[in-house]
Structure 1
Amino acid sequence: MIHVTRTIVIDESEIQEQFIRASGPGGQNVNKVSTAVQLRFDAANSPALPDDVRQRLFKLAGRRMTDEGILIIEAQRFRTQSRNRDDARVKLCELIRQAAQPPKPRYKTQPTKASQKRRLESKQQRGDIKRSRKAPVNAE
């Protein structure tokens, strides 16, 4: 069991891990050993996620989420499988924690009189500058 928040607990069986070859530096070791981890989590069908968290997770995940609702996280920062595995799980937990926080409600605000006045004055100044660039009209 992976404890994400006090209310969200993910069962180990919901996570699939596959070890792949890492890209980047590492010499001959990179070509021989599969140390990178590709973690797959079926967010669309997970009973651990409430609906509102699931919807926010879909938005937060971006291209890491497939059309079927499977979240794919790759970790290849470290040179060992176990550390990359832990890193991928931490990334998953952090993403779900972010999705678990409800967005702050947005309150409508009115611009202050002073800010409205400043805005209009700056627009007036900009117009004056542009007007002064015109060639004078010859009255003949």
Structure 2
Amino acid sequence: MRFDVSKAGWIPDEVKDAMRQLEKNRFTSEGMLVMQSQRHRTQAQNLDDALAKLQEIIDRAVEYVTPKEADPDTIKRVKAQIKAGKERRLDNKKKDSNKKKERSRRDFD
């Protein structure tokens, strides 16, 4: 089965681009999406299977272009990790500074 994505006006352009990007090996040089199925014994069942595969490709492309909502728990966790990382970095800087100070001590008793 061949499907001309460029002539499908009912598919948004960003979804078409996502389809081309996600399934680049299934597109011909003319921009036709080639679907094939040999799962069943009859041509009609194979055509239905190819249509199901096409629907999966379109659904995956729509999911790919749909922006993800930010989860408040994830944002909170990431901010905590950033803060902890900054504190670790500053603690390491203080330890290095103290180590270098100890090297330059002059009072040998």
TM-score bucket of the superposed structures, by smaller chain:
0.5 to 0.7
Alignment of 1:46 onto 2:8: yes
CA distance in 2: counterparts of 1:51 and 1:71, whole angstroms: 15
1:44-83 to 2 correspondences below 5 Å: 44-83=6-45
Alignment correspondent of 2:56: 94
> Alpha-carbon deviation of 1:57?
1.0
> Alpha-carbon deviation of 1:79?
1.6
CA RMSD of aligned residues (A): 2.8
User: Any unmatched runs of 5+ in structure 2?
Assistant: 93-109
Answer 1 or 2: higher relative contact order, Cα 8 Å, separation at least 6.
2
Cα pair 1:53 1:100 within 8 Å, conserved: yes
**TM-score, normalised via structure 1 length:** 0.47
Aligned AA (1:78): H
Aligned AA (1:45): K
Partner SS for 1:78: coil
Q: Deviations over 1:31-77 (max 9, x none)?
A: xxxxxxxx100002222211111111111212101122100011011
Q: 4+ runs of 1 displaced by more than 6 Å? A: none
Alignment correspondent of 2:102: none
Partner SS for 2:9: coil
Q: Which has the higher strand share?
A: 1
**TM-score, normalised via structure 2 length:** 0.59
Alignment correspondent of 1:112: 82
Alignment length (residue pairs): 81
Q: Which has the higher helix share?
A: 2
User: Any unmatched runs of 5+ in structure 1?
Assistant: 1-38, 122-140
